[in-house]
Structure 1
Amino acid sequence: MKSTTVSQQSGDNNNSQKVNTSIQILSCRTECKWYLIGVVIRLVWTLIYPQRGYIHPDEFFQGSEVVFDDFFRTNLTRTHEFNPTAPLRSVAILYLLYGLPVSILSWLSSTFHWSTIPFHLKLVFPRAVILCLSLCTDILFSRLIKTLYPKLSSKQHAIILNYYGIAHVTLVFYTRTLSNSFEAFLFLALIYLIDHNVSSLSSFVSSTVNDTKSTTRSDRYLLLSSSFIGFICALGIFNRATFPAFAIVPLIYWFTNILPVINHSFHFQLLLGRTISFIVGTFVATCTLLILFDSYYYNDGFSLMIDWKKSLVVCPFNFIVYNTDASNLDKHGLHPPWLHFIVNATILYGPLHLCVVLWGLSHLANLSQYGQKITGRIAQIFQRRSTPTEQSHQSSSPLLLYLYSVPFVFLSTFPHQEPRFLLPLLFPLTLFIVPLLITHGFHRLVFRLWLAFNISVAILYGHLHQGGVLPALQHVHDFPMLTSGGAPIQENLNKRILVTYHTYMPPGYLVTQMSNSDVVKKFDMSIVDLQGAKREKLDMTIKDIFNRHSTSNTQVFIVLPSTCRTDLIHLKQQKYTFTLSEQFGFHLDLDHAFEEPFHGKHAGTTFQWLQTIWNRYKLDVYQVQRD
């Protein structure tokens, strides 16, 4: 009878636990609905309907372009960052990120004898890697919310996560193959690991001698997190030499929290020594491997063994040397030091950055207290190092404020500034300002502004900005290879030339037909990027192409904005035929959107006026023939 009663009770408990678990899952889904919507958007915009917007050429030319070129030997464009004499970018990082997806595509093309790798797969596979890293970063960010704000409710935790999940930086930039996106992921991982490392050391100080099992287990986690800290710091520096601007505050936080208790006990000193040795050792080992990989890549392996001192390549050092030369920075554009804080941060973070600025103006006294607190903390380290002090519970707001504001100071010292350089700051910004908005009851109003801002900017950068380039490249990539008689005979057509005019640089690996199958006969693909050249340069380029190449086995395409179609009139008068193959819109060039006046006086109705705008902002693909 008793056993029956116990079994019934245990069954009831199990059922109640299942009910409670299902209720928690449903409530979590309801509370985190905007974050979950953001996850779905990221998946769809990356894998199913890839974003057409073109943020910056570095998205392709400092990443997947190089790896595709190495795997398929297509002689693609190499920018100045990969100059073998003084390379600025580590190829080891690129292979670490994109080596596996490109090798999978290479294997598929060989196995299934593809005539060419589909355009969609070439675009999606590298982005899928960044998407996976982004989703892994979400887990760390969610855990960090609970660690920094244990007193907030689960609903309030979900509010912070919703702000992050619906941000256009998360939806667009954190799914693109930008080195700044990878830098952001490493930055959050470093914050999380250092916080975990400090907590483990603090728990050791407060633990009793009898807790041997828990102490041993925490020691293992401590050394493991220490190894990852050194590994992430090395990857961050070789990915972008600006990573120390973001890493300095977490490292100072670790320094100011550990050294006051350095003389706690002999066992603690031994553990702290092992922690530091694991951090430094892993950092040095990782840097050594990255240097050797880059040195072997940029030099002949045999020459590296003969004269390794001259053949060693340290890309972060070359990057710093290059950017200290004002003439080099002048090529990329010089900007005032206030641009990051006033303009670029507003473009990326809009309402939240404005809230931080308003909060700072209204709490100038608090800011001075934060400065005095950190100064006193550092002074305390060197004055009372021999006294074991237990870390008191303090607000995380000062740390998060430093994590957000200090990188502005370092990055603003560089004359060349772009919004994407500030991508890692989304994490400390959200963690700092959103809890304050929740506390003061402003988050509902701000979230509406945040939602409207990010939807519009996500559409702008995700699909409109230079939005015709990728579809135009896909059109040229998939264009049938026809002879003059109209028959699709591949042997009679062995060259294709693409001329781009007043657009961003076209990624060569996307428009070039690639395959590692021995059965497939390939043809030559050439790209002429005229950038923002004048009409005379376009005329000379077309004439030179038809003078050097036979018209019977060459296809020539011109890709240019609809606003520049008048530049073809002079060529049409010289016995060249331009056949409009396709138009792609909406193509918005923010760099030159307002250079030519808009004439809408002939548009009578609102519909005609909108149609005029639609026809204006398109990208045209012409096939060129000589009469």
Structure 2
Amino acid sequence: MPLKHVAQLPKSYLLCAFLRVFLTCLPQTGYIHPDEYFQSIEPLAEKSLNVKVNKPWEFNVTFPLRSVTPLYFTTGLSFQILKLVDTFLTYQFDVSLATPYFTILFPRLLMTGLSFAVDWSLYRICLANSEKCKSRCLILSTSYVTLVYATRTFSNVIELLLFALLLYYVAESLIFSNINIRQREYINKRYKAAETLGEKAKFHKLRLYLENDSLRSYFTIATIVTVGFFNRPTFVAYAISPVFFWLYRGIGFKSIVSLQFHLRTVVFVASTVPTVVFFVVVDSFFYGYLTWGEIGMLEVSINNFVVTPWNFVKYNINAENLAEHGVHPRWLNMLVNVPLLFGVLAFLCYSNLVELLRSIWQCKYHHLPSVRSIRGLMTASILFPLALLSFVPHQEPRFLLPLILPLVYLYGPSIWPEQVDVVVKPTDGYKPGESRRREPNSLLKAECSALSRV
């Protein structure tokens, strides 16, 4: 975020941001789960640092379950930076960084830096929706998830970052479409009501100024979903709600036909193809299924490519395989893992869930979040992933890390309500107790009048 906006955040947030980096640099001899080493540092350390490793079973060449491509942009990048810094310090000062401490520190520092993408996404969503952001950003920065998990080299942390970015781009598209569609409908209404050719020409000109919102950020969203799927196929559980909200934008307005839903679906699916091809090719080279010699001899077949998410799904649908890792009760996420990770936010979420169920039971559907609102997007982005992942027999707290952003957005202000900085007194003759009905498109009319003079 721009420095001028960072300066507007409370000093306590900046202190927590510094604390996040400082704690990462402290010597840490323990771990949350061995996977923070086995699924990130071990696979690339052999090729990047020329050291002997114990390659995890998920990266077995005969049946690889994990895509190595995301690791090249996280752990692999940090190893390259480590090698450059080590070469410089060794040459200039005869000081070497080739130690276990720095081998672990550099990937963690990179993940810590990337974790601020979650802060940025939350801030931008609040800014786009004219919501207060100070309390939300502070609660996010002090959360157990951010300070402990988000600074580790888990694939779940990459999933958290991608989900935060996905929510931002979908929320921004949703807000933009809501505004754009209302403007379009108002202009169309005035165009039809215009009595002279001059007036019709003005409103036709205004229609040309409106930006097409139907496919907004389509390639970015498709790329994020594809990267998330290759990083962890469980990302589908998180992506399903935001993608549906993006596809469904504007459906129900007069100017939006249902055909646009199908058009967006086709474009979205087609936009995932370049990223899919890139990941499959990189993984195939890494695992030795594809070589430059075979390409040069034009001896390439379908057997030269490996699709790791497909292997991941085939492995995990086998109940016997899951039993080796531990089978948990379906209620573990709801009753244990969510409160463990999110604390007060979890109980506020459950309280709101009870209210939603009560509204449904009493047929008060108007009390439910709208499918066109950011609140509806965030609510669905909590409930659907939580429900889907609760059906998976193997459950761990780190699988739920991406839920932190929608939880903070919805329930953060309930923990720390922000005070209104400035009280603006009404200047339109309004008096307390009087009806304050205004023409719904008054601001839009003023904007259109200004545009018509262009």
| Residues 1:375 and 1:440: Cα distance change in structure 2 (over 3 Å) | closer
8 Å contact from structure 2 (residues 40, 153) kept in 1? yes
What is residue 103 of structure 1 aligned with on the other side? 80
Return 334-343 or 191-200, whichever deviates more: 191-200
SS state at 2:392 partner: coil
| Residues 1:246 and 1:367: Cα distance change in structure 2 (over 3 Å) | farther
SS state at 2:74 partner: helix
SS state at 1:190 partner: helix
1:193-240 C-alpha deviation (Å, 9 max, x unpaired) = 112223333343224443478535x76xx7662211011011000000
User: Of the candidates 313, 325, 331, which is equivalent to residue 338 of structure 1?
Assistant: 331
| Residues 1:375 and 1:92: Cα distance change in structure 2 (over 3 Å) | same
8 Å contact from structure 1 (residues 191, 250) kept in 2? yes
What is residue 173 of structure 2 aligned with on the other side? 197
What is residue 572 of structure 1 aligned with on the other side? none
**Alpha-carbon separation, structure 2, partners of 1:273 and 1:98:** 38
User: Of the candidates 223, 233, 243, which is equivalent to residue 251 of structure 1?
Assistant: 243
What is residue 286 of structure 1 aligned with on the other side? 275
Alignment of 1:210-609 (within 5 A): 210-211=205-206, 215-216=210-211, 225-261=217-253, 264=256, 279-299=268-288, 300-301=290-291, 302-303=293-294, 306-361=299-354, 364-368=357-361, 394=373, 396-436=374-414
Unaligned 5+ residue runs, structure 2? Answer: 188-203, 420-454
Give the CA deviation at 1:146.
3.1
**Alpha-carbon separation, structure 2, partners of 1:335 and 1:225:** 39
What is residue 16 of structure 2 aligned with on the other side? 38
8 Å contact from structure 1 (residues 81, 87) kept in 2? yes
1:310-355 C-alpha deviation (Å, 9 max, x unpaired) = 1211111111110011111111111111111111111101222122
**Alpha-carbon separation, structure 1, partners of 2:72 and 2:362:** 46
User: Of the candidates 113, 117, 125, which is equivalent to residue 136 of structure 1?
Assistant: 117
What is residue 168 of structure 1 aligned with on the other side? 144
What is residue 492 of structure 1 aligned with on the other side? none
8 Å contact from structure 1 (residues 337, 414) kept in 2? yes
Aligned pair 1:146/2:127, yes or no? yes
| Residues 1:369 and 1:227: Cα distance change in structure 2 (over 3 Å) | farther
Return the letter of the residue paired with 1:121.
Answer: F
**Alpha-carbon separation, structure 2, partners of 1:116 and 1:146:** 42
1:411-455 C-alpha deviation (Å, 9 max, x unpaired) = 1121111100000001111112233556799xxxxxxxxxxxxxx
Give the CA deviation at 1:263.
5.6
SS state at 1:210 partner: helix
**Alpha-carbon separation, structure 2, partners of 1:375 and 1:431:** 17
8 Å contact from structure 1 (residues 35, 165) kept in 2? yes
Return the letter of the residue paired with 1:133.
Answer: L
Give the CA deviation at 1:162.
1.6
8 Å contact from structure 1 (residues 230, 279) kept in 2? yes
Return 405-414 or 352-361, whichever deviates more: 352-361
Unaligned 5+ residue runs, structure 1? Answer: 1-20, 379-390, 442-627
**Alpha-carbon separation, structure 2, partners of 1:358 and 1:72:** 50
SS state at 1:313 partner: coil
What is residue 604 of structure 1 aligned with on the other side? none
Return the letter of the residue paired with 1:130.
Answer: M
**Alpha-carbon separation, structure 1, partners of 2:79 and 2:234:** 27
8 Å contact from structure 1 (residues 303, 311) kept in 2? no
Q: Calculate the aligned-residue CA RMSD, in Å.
A: 3.4
TM-score, L = length of structure 2: 0.76
| Residues 1:376 and 1:401: Cα distance change in structure 2 (over 3 Å) | closer
What is residue 428 of structure 2 aligned with on the other side? none
**Alpha-carbon separation, structure 2, partners of 1:169 and 1:376:** 26
Higher relative strand content:
1
**Alpha-carbon separation, structure 2, partners of 1:434 and 1:91:** 36
What is residue 119 of structure 1 aligned with on the other side? 100
What is residue 73 of structure 1 aligned with on the other side? 50
8 Å contact from structure 1 (residues 45, 51) kept in 2? no
**Alpha-carbon separation, structure 2, partners of 1:377 and 1:290:** 36
**Alpha-carbon separation, structure 1, partners of 2:51 and 2:105:** 20
| Residues 1:116 and 1:142: Cα distance change in structure 2 (over 3 Å) | closer
Return the letter of the residue paired with 1:139.
Answer: W
What is residue 12 of structure 1 aligned with on the other side? none
TM-score, L = length of structure 1: 0.56
1:359-396 C-alpha deviation (Å, 9 max, x unpaired) = 43355323557995799989xxxxxxxxxxxx6xx5x4
**Alpha-carbon separation, structure 1, partners of 2:233 and 2:303:** 22
1:494-549 C-alpha deviation (Å, 9 max, x unpaired) = xxxxxxxxxxxxxxxxxxxxxxxxxxxxxxxxxxxxxxxxxxxxxxxxxxxxxxxx
**Alpha-carbon separation, structure 1, partners of 2:364 and 2:311:** 35
**Alpha-carbon separation, structure 1, partners of 2:46 and 2:341:** 32
What is residue 159 of structure 1 aligned with on the other side? 135
Aligned pair 1:186/2:134, yes or no? no
| Residues 1:75 and 1:187: Cα distance change in structure 2 (over 3 Å) | same
1:27-54 C-alpha deviation (Å, 9 max, x unpaired) = x35xx2332222011111124x254441
**Alpha-carbon separation, structure 1, partners of 2:61 and 2:6:** 54
| Residues 1:67 and 1:211: Cα distance change in structure 2 (over 3 Å) | farther
What is residue 606 of structure 1 aligned with on the other side? none
Give the CA deviation at 1:138.
1.1
